[in-house]
Structure 1
Amino acid sequence: MITTLSGDTTRLRRTVDFVKEQDTATLLPLLLPGVDGPELRALAERCRFSHAALLVFPSGDDELNATLDDCGLAVVEPARPSVVVRDRLALRYRRPAADLDVRILRPPVQGRDGARRMVEVFALTVAPGSELDPIAAQERESQSEAHVAFDVTAPDPLVLRGLCATFARYGAVPDGGGYNPHENGTVFYFGLPADTKAGYSRVELYVPGDHRDVLAAHLDEHRARQPAETLLRLLTGAWTTQALAAFTELGAPDALDGERGTHPAELARITGAEPRNLATLLRYLTMLGAVTEAHDGFRLTEVGALLRTNAPVSMRALALMYGGPFYRSFAGLGHTVRTGQVAFEHVFGENHFDHFARDPELAELFDQSMAAGSAMFDPLPLHPALTRAAEAPDGATVVDVAGGNGELLGRLLDAHPRLHGVLLERPHAVEAARHRLEQAGHGARCAFVEGDFADLPDNGDVYVLSRILHDWDDERCREILRHCARAMPDSADLLVVERLLPTDGSFSLATAWDLHMMCNVGGQERQVGHYGRLFTDAGLTLVSRTSLPLDGHVLHVRKAGSPLD
């Protein structure tokens, strides 16, 4: 015990002395040999030496306080949980994060230049005889979490990217990082070049606020250098799906909010869950960014709030579908790849349309999950074809083909008060749409048609096929499009909403949905040229395309030979 205290005290004293003696302009060239002149001045203007950090291993609060006192450090703010270091240790030693009680303390230190800095003390509690003793021994030897840190003074995305590029130019490499919701700060870690002269091998850039968009590229580069970690994160993707689905199924998102925290015991009482297991789930969801933890308990983030039943664009149904029927069928992906048979049909014995239609609750959940995809239309694009129809002197009619529960049609009618709507769907879906649109005050402006694609009305001005064609193979798509071409007046417009596969292999949600459609539906996503050929085969022509959120596109189509105005 005495040896442990003495060892940590000695390391901490050295850290305090280092913080007192250094300043930004002299420290940067030590960390990044070769940086000088304009680049050094630019770095010094945009980031400020703020602290040096180390990880200590007290047996409890008394020992930690004694170590701080011996080093002349006074803690002026309460300790906070450390998300980033805890998760790094958990991954490094293959330990559950819940077993690692890591806290952050930041006692102030005044530099010899008069600047106020601090020592960042990470404290992992290791009780005498604990099974964590080997971790403490290894970390004291490796000093993996010891680093120096700079505060970024202008937290602008362009500035962050420029700082990261400058560090890379002088030999620093990405070494992880994270967002800490407890203090709303984003951390970028770098491994320093071998010829660094500061006695540290890692540097941190600390940026106030949530900058996970810039952090994502930084972490991607780090993981590319850590193939085992990358693969492990990929392999645990199923855990993420089930954690979000279980959280939703419990009704926990509806019991939480974004303003007032709720302790796990109280949330367990409300949801009927086992308190300890619910707490474990909440910690994992905190790491995912769906909830955040503060002194008063857990609360929803903007991401987690999308799982609430009454969210403006609720994605609750998607979580239950992806964690339920589609989760089970995705286990048959290998069967689909080997045989070409749709995994959903292999697992459930019938296609997904028939399977959902047999169960009213499941059918409603499926329609709700399709409506959840309306986030693709947030904000709703004011397509010129819709605007032109809405300005027609005698009004105009938009026909939503296989329009589900009327979510999209309702949005269009909200945006264009002079439009009339027609919704074509299966009988049970028509009733749900009728109820939704009547409640929204659109009942007098809507007509409802029960039937299939062959039953399309021939009096529309704008026809909408939203995420329909990707359900089917090419031959069925041609058949659907021919029905549209026969029903459309010569002056009508057809708006096809789909995700488009990229032509250059770049990242796109369409690539993921292509796998989903193959496995669960028997359909596919397509490139724009592929759709263009299907339109031509049906006597139609592609006029233009417009981007939507979530990698969606509107393909504007007209009958071949019809005027464009």
Structure 2
Amino acid sequence: MGTDPCAAPPRLDPHDLDRIRRAAAFVAASDTASVLADLLPGLTAAERDAVAAHSRFTHAAVLVFPPSLAGLRDLLHEEGLAVGPVTPSVVVRDRLARRYGRSADALEVGILRAPVTAADGSPCEIEIFALAVPPGSGLDTVAAGERAHDHEAHLALEVTTPGPVVLAGLRATLLGRGVTTADGGGHNAHEDVTVLYFRAGDGGRYQRLELNARGHHPGVLAEHGRSGDRPAERLLQLMTGAWATQAVAVAADLRLADHLDTAPRPGPERLAELTGAHPDSLRRLLRYLTALGVFAPDGAGSHRPTELGRLLRTDAEQSLHPLALLYGGPFYESFGALGHAVRTGRDAFEHTFGAHHFAHFAQDPVLADLFDRSMAASTQMFDPIAELVDFTAARVVVDVAGGNGALLGRVLQAHPHLEGVLLERPHVVEAARAALTKAGCIDRCRLVSGDFTDEVPGGGDVYLLSRVLHDWDDRQCLGILQRLAAAVPEHAELLVVERLLPADGDPSPSLAVPWDVHMLCNVGGRERTAEHYGRLLAEAGFDLTGVAELPLDGALLSARRTP
């Protein structure tokens, strides 16, 4: 985001201008020792020295509200601040959107940095976050709220000796003797920095501290996130998770995202007519979905889908609409019998419906279609595979239980020299034929109707096995891999797509952890660690040769026949 050199400098509220001046003056009059003494009076001098030995004061931050970001840099130059260019601030934008129930897309937030020398002569800076508040935008209430509470104003320390042990020690000191509370955090992948926020006690002008450490420290981040919650409130949020599942499922069933992502947008009464819903009940549902971040008020008495909500559009690219219906439908019902699965080790779906979910869905064309569309809904997991793998020497790619051909189609589109073979159940083969025709590569595909548990086509150079192994227990998994080993030529490569559980002791958040319980409850399979898959592959006659990350917490495991 740049500035327009011809634009007149925007007017700044005198209060905002004064806050910038005071922030610059504060940095110039401060150093690491004085900041720690002011912000963390609960620490002893020795403890402050210990914190200072591993960190240093780097900046103070304020949030201001110009009518436009254009020309803001010039205005600050007039104040004697050598600010750099305006760059987008996605983190602050998203926090403001959540805090005030706004759509992030409707907020333009930039950040400018100006160097200021600290009292001890060390280089520091002020960070100036700016939310554009054009006249008539309705954002005046956001500006008023932020000016009153200074949520985004903070001081920052940089960890000079980054590492999980030092970072954990600093965090424990700040939360303990420092008498602060955890206030969120995250990993800035663009700058490769882990950020932890702390809220200090009342009294000082700055009540928020930012701790920055170079690198990614997922264990400390996970622990910090847990400690930021008040236990009773967090537990209540967990208990009501099923309510959120149903709210999203009903939104999908009523196609609210389709109706509300239009111009003109329907008002409440018209939306109730379009969806056949009770007006007041629909309003209450939308309020809950807004709190969940799925919709946001549009400022004109209606709502609009957020970035999350647009994924519920039926025509959205990689729409999650089918998954919302599946997870809020039969899988929701069977999850009510999770206790049966935990007590017996047998899946709750069969206990609830009288048949395994594959057989149950196959008996109902509507459910079978919903399941197949749901599996296709998360295929963004496949996007990088065509580029991650070297297909140069390959000629034939065999997709075993390849669904509607989403992965095979991506590979064939990216590599025109390849031919494909897709093995699937008869009714799925027809869906794959349509998808591969649409992808423009059906003329290079051979579609085989059959069951991979009986026979696997031979003659391939690369074999794809995507989201299959997690459906089965270890004994069945081993049998599948052994059949593959018997069919796969010695030179061929096996590519397995699955979610991987974190290794024991790794606290990193992962979608594979809840999905593992889903597999227990609804399928009878399980998610596994990379090591677990490696053992199964080795027993079947394969060597695990590589693991690569994929979107949606997926992973690509590469294997070859053991010589």
Q: Aligned to 2:528, what secondary structure does the other structure show?
A: coil
Which residue of the partner structure matches residue 241 of structure 1? 245
Q: Distance in 1 between matches of 2:263 and 2:199?
A: 35
Q: Aligned to 1:555, what secondary structure does the other structure show?
A: strand
Q: Which has the larger radius of gyration?
A: 1
Residues 478 and 119 (structure 1), Cα distance of their counterparts in 2 relative to 1, 3 Å cut: closer
Contact 1:50-1:150 within 8 A present in 2 as well: no
Q: Distance in 1 between matches of 2:413 and 2:538?
A: 33
Deviations 1:237-292 (A, max 9, x none): 11111111110111112222288755433322322222222222222222222222
1:497 aligns to 2:511 (yes or no): no
Aligned letter for 2:551?
P
Residues 448 and 21 (structure 1), Cα distance of their counterparts in 2 relative to 1, 3 Å cut: closer
Aligned letter for 1:463?
Y
Match of 1:517 among 498, 505, 519: 519
CA displacement at 1:338 relative to structure 2 = 1.1
Contact 1:377-1:548 within 8 A present in 2 as well: yes
Q: Aligned to 2:284, what secondary structure does the other structure show?
A: helix
Aligned letter for 2:268?
P
Contact 1:260-1:299 within 8 A present in 2 as well: no
Residues 518 and 30 (structure 1), Cα distance of their counterparts in 2 relative to 1, 3 Å cut: same
1:222 aligns to 2:228 (yes or no): yes
1:359 aligns to 2:364 (yes or no): yes
Contact 1:258-1:301 within 8 A present in 2 as well: no
Residues 418 and 105 (structure 1), Cα distance of their counterparts in 2 relative to 1, 3 Å cut: closer
What pairs up with 1:10-25 in 2 under 5 angstroms?
Answer: none
Contact 2:400-2:464 within 8 A present in 1 as well: yes
Aligned letter for 1:174?
T
Contact 1:50-1:151 within 8 A present in 2 as well: no
Aligned letter for 1:47?
A
Which residue of the partner structure matches residue 314 of structure 1? 319
In the superposition, the TM-score normalised over structure 1's length comes to: 0.67
Moved more, 234-243 or 538-547: 538-547
Q: Aligned to 1:382, what secondary structure does the other structure show?
A: helix
In the superposition, the TM-score normalised over structure 2's length comes to: 0.67
Q: Aligned to 1:46, what secondary structure does the other structure show?
A: strand
Match of 1:256 among 254, 260, 269: 260
CA displacement at 1:385 relative to structure 2 = 4.2
Q: Aligned to 1:302, what secondary structure does the other structure show?
A: coil
Which residue of the partner structure matches residue 181 of structure 2? 174
Query: Which structure is richer in relative contact order (CA contacts within 8 A, separation 6 or more)?
Result: 2
Q: Distance in 1 between matches of 2:561 and 2:333?
A: 42
Residues 229 and 447 (structure 1), Cα distance of their counterparts in 2 relative to 1, 3 Å cut: same
RMSD across aligned C-alpha pairs, in angstroms? 4.2
CA displacement at 1:150 relative to structure 2 = 5.3
In structure 1, the gaps of 5 or more residues are: 1-17, 52-80, 87-102, 109-117, 121-146, 179-186, 207-212, 390-395
What pairs up with 1:85-484 in 2 under 5 angstroms?
Answer: 104=141, 120=148, 149=151, 151=153, 171-174=178-181, 190-192=199-201, 198=203, 203=207, 220-223=226-229, 226-257=230-261, 262-296=266-300, 297-389=302-394, 396-453=395-452, 454-484=454-484
Q: Aligned to 1:465, what secondary structure does the other structure show?
A: strand
Aligned letter for 1:171?
G
Contact 1:259-1:299 within 8 A present in 2 as well: no
CA displacement at 1:295 relative to structure 2 = 0.7
Q: Distance in 1 between matches of 2:414 and 2:241?
A: 38
Q: Distance in 2 between matches of 1:310 and 1:49?
A: 38
Q: Distance in 1 between matches of 2:494 and 2:347?
A: 30
Aligned letter for 1:46?
A
Which residue of the partner structure matches residue 46 of structure 1? 60
Contact 1:381-1:548 within 8 A present in 2 as well: no
Aligned letter for 1:559?
R
Contact 1:48-1:153 within 8 A present in 2 as well: no
CA displacement at 1:45 relative to structure 2 = 3.7
CA displacement at 1:509 relative to structure 2 = 1.6
In structure 2, the gaps of 5 or more residues are: 1-18, 66-95, 102-139, 161-166, 186-195, 211-217
Q: Distance in 1 between matches of 2:450 and 2:256?
A: 38
Aligned letter for 1:546?
A
Deviations 1:334-372 (A, max 9, x none): 011112221000000000011000111110110111112
Q: Aligned to 1:447, what secondary structure does the other structure show?
A: strand
CA displacement at 1:215 relative to structure 2 = 10
Q: Distance in 1 between matches of 2:475 and 2:266?
A: 53
Contact 2:512-2:527 within 8 A present in 1 as well: yes
Residues 474 and 378 (structure 1), Cα distance of their counterparts in 2 relative to 1, 3 Å cut: same
CA displacement at 1:465 relative to structure 2 = 0.5
Over the matched positions of the two proteins, sequence identity in percent amounts to 48
Q: Aligned to 2:560, what secondary structure does the other structure show?
A: strand
Q: Aligned to 1:523, what secondary structure does the other structure show?
A: coil
Q: Aligned to 2:429, what secondary structure does the other structure show?
A: helix
